[in-house]
């Protein structure tokens, strides 16, 4: 039933899209519903005073009932008035404050006359404040909450000063009333009521006679009253905050979706693709490979200039769909920007990566874009790839460290693992030799760990150099940076 009344999408609309005056009017309506519940309790007790008159201070009931009615009318008037004062925030905030002040005084009175240690107190104190913070100015509800806490503390300790406070509760031993007027004996009353309830049961068994005696006790009446007054509000508040958690989950997923996905191609975003690449590279172990493919659509600017940006967007969407169909979940495909795409392939060797890139090139070349007038637009792509293994990654790190190191140390401090990695890259050794000539000493004991994003950008830059070579060689082809490095076409 509650799901039909307030689905989480409707609640989200209320919180994020409704105007301030509409939310204030809704809060006044919720207050009216709660007060109506209290008003019906007063009506029930009044109509059954012959039976329950010994449990309730009947002389106090009429003024309580009148006060409940007046607060109900105030909430009704404010609910209607809030709708009439649109686009007048100063006036709206003043009447919001009046609504919260009136309701706070009302709840304080309910706490006073119903028993400050009751379930009603806890639900009213916490539930009302949290619901109000969703709909009106949070500062107002915070101060109202603190004021109610002060009231509870006051009514707890003031009876010890000899001050009698009004109390609707009247304890009875079946039919013998115990006259009590303040909260000083509230705990004692509860203890007595528990003893009375326990004495009803004979031999620990419940009989029809004992049920009737229990029903006639004040303990049963007041506990039932507290449940009646508190549980509906508690259930509603738990339901509302459950819906809020659903809204938060949906919002989180939506935010992540927008942050991690490219809206046009539905591929991963550049930021997410780089983050996944960094994670894979940092976890790279010995004898493992990581391959990177940079894909760039050929003559894409001409497509935009000739057919318009709508056609260019169509090309990007269809290429994005083709990439999504081609690669598995453990492979990261992201749009780098414009017509360029980044593909990360964990645990894929150079030979396998080249085969994948060649197959992808052929699939794109065989795919034509259907234009609105029935024509087909052929497309192609150039790809650059680079495969890095654990030793290459170590060499890249050492390259960064030598470039950033400023303290000259002894050559004997360079680890054998570092030298092994460097020996596999003659061009890097040349760069280090040049640095040695300038400094006359070899930097060692490198402590500067390169940021993961720097290493990623270096690997992408190497793959991009291969892509540039593919473009210069005639486009619609695959170029491997590993092969180009071996023959000296590009630098490591």
Give whole-number Cα distances, 202 to 198, 213, 327, 420, in Å: 9, 12, 75, 90
Q: What is the pLDDT of residue 378?
A: 92
Where does the pLDDT of residue 323 fall: very low under 50, low under 70, confident under 90, or very high at 90 and above? very high
E-strand ranges in 82-191 read 171-173, 176-178
E strands, 340-424, are: 340-346, 368-370, 376-378, 381-389
Token pair recorded at residue 51: 């039976």
Q: Please give the model's pTM, rounded to 2 decimal places.
A: 0.54
Q: pLDDT tens digits for 149-192? A: 888 788 778 877 877 777 787 755 444 444 444 433 444 455 55
435 with 354: CB under 8 angstroms?
A: no
Note the helical H segments in 163-217: 186-200, 208-215
Q: Which domains does the chain have, with CATH numbers?
A: 2-255 (no CATH), 270-486 (3.30.70.270)
pLDDT for residue 4 is more than 50? no
Which DSSP helix (H) or strand (E) runs through 306?
helix 300-307
Q: 250 pLDDT band (50/70/90 cuts)? A: confident
Token pair, residue 28, equals: 């006044």
The DSSP bridge pattern shows strands 478-480 and 381-389 to be parallel
Residue 271 predicted with pLDDT over 80: yes
Q: Which is nearest to 446 in space by CA: 428, 423, 426, 419? A: 419
Candidates 335, 354, 346, 198; CA nearest to 269 is 335
pLDDT digit string, tens, across residues 364-406 = 999 888 887 778 899 999 999 999 988 888 877 777 666 555 4
CA dist 101 → 26, 144, 162, 415 (Å):
17, 7, 29, 74
Q: DSSP 3-state assignment of 468?
A: helix
Taking residue 243's Cβ as centre, other Cβ atoms within 10 Å add up to 20
Residue with tokens 């009253």: 225
Which SS3 state, helix, strand or coil, does residue 332 take?
strand
- pLDDT tens digit string along 424-461? 555 555 555 555 444 444 444 444 566 777 888 889 99
pLDDT band at 242 (very low <50, low <70, confident <90, very high): confident
**Torsions phi, psi of 353, nearest 5?**
-65, -40
| Backbone phi and psi for residue 179, each to the nearest 5 degrees, phi listed first | -70, 120
Residue 61: CB atoms within 10 A of its CB come to 17
* Closest C-alpha to 110, from 130, 136, 132, 128: 128
């Amino acid at each position: 039933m509650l799901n039909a009344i307030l689905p989480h999408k409707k609640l989200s609309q209320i919180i994020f899209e409704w105007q301030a005056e509409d939310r204030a009017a809704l809060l006044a309506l919720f207050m009216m519903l709660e007060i109506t519940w209290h008003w019906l309790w007063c009506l029930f007790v009044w109509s059954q005073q012959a039976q329950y008159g010994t449990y309730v201070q009947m002389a106090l009931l009429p003024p309580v009932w009148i006060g409940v009615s007046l607060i109900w009318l105030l909430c009704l008037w404010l609910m209607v008035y809030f709708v009439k004062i649109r686009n007048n925030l100063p006036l709206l905030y003043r009447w919001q404050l009046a609504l919260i002040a009136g309701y706070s005084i009302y709840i304080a009175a309910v706490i006073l006359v119903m028993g400050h240690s009751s379930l009603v107190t806890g639900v009213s104190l916490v539930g009302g404040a949290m619901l109000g913070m969703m709909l009106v100015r949070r500062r107002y509800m915070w101060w109202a909450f603190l004021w109610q806490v002060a009231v509870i503390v006051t009514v707890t300790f003031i009876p010890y000063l000899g001050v009698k406070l009004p109390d609707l509760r009247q304890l009875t031993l079946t039919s013998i009333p115990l006259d009590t007027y303040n909260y000083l004996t509230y705990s004692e009353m509860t203890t007595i009521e528990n003893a009375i309830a326990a004495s009803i049961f004979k031999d620990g068994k419940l009989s029809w006679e004992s049920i009737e005696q229990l029903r006639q006790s004040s303990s049963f009446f007041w506990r039932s009253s507290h449940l009646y007054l508190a549980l509906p509000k508690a259930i509603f508040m738990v339901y509302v905050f459950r819906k809020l958690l659903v809204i938060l989950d949906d919002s989180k997923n939506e935010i992540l979706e927008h942050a991690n996905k490219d809206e046009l191609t539905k591929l991963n975003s550049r930021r997410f693709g780089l983050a996944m690449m960094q994670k894979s590279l940092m976890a790279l172990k010995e004898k493992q490979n990581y391959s990177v493919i940079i894909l760039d659509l050929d003559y894409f600017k001409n497509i935009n200039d000739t057919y318009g940006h709508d056609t260019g967007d169509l090309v990007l969407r269809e290429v994005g769909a083709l990439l999504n169909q081609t690669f598995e979940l453990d492979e990261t495909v992201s749009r780098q920007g414009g017509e360029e795409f980044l593909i990360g392939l964990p645990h894929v060797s150079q030979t396998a990566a080249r085969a994948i890139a060649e197959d992808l090139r052929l699939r794109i070349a065989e795919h034509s874009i259907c234009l609105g007038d029935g024509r087909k637009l052929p497309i192609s792509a150039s790809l650059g790839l680079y495969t890095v293994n654990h030793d290459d990654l170590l060499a890249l790190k050492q390259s960064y460290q030598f470039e950033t190191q400023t303290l000259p140390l002894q050559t004997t401090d360079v680890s054998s693992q570092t030298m092994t990695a460097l020996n596999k890259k003659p061009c890097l050794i040349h760069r280090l030799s040049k640095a040695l000539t300038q400094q006359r000493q070899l930097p060692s004991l490198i402590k500067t760990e390169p940021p993961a994003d720097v290493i990623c950008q270096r690997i992408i830059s190497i793959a991009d150099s291969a892509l540039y070579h593919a473009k210069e060689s005639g486009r619609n082809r695959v170029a491997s940076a590993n092969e180009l490095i071996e023959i000296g076409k590009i630098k490591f």
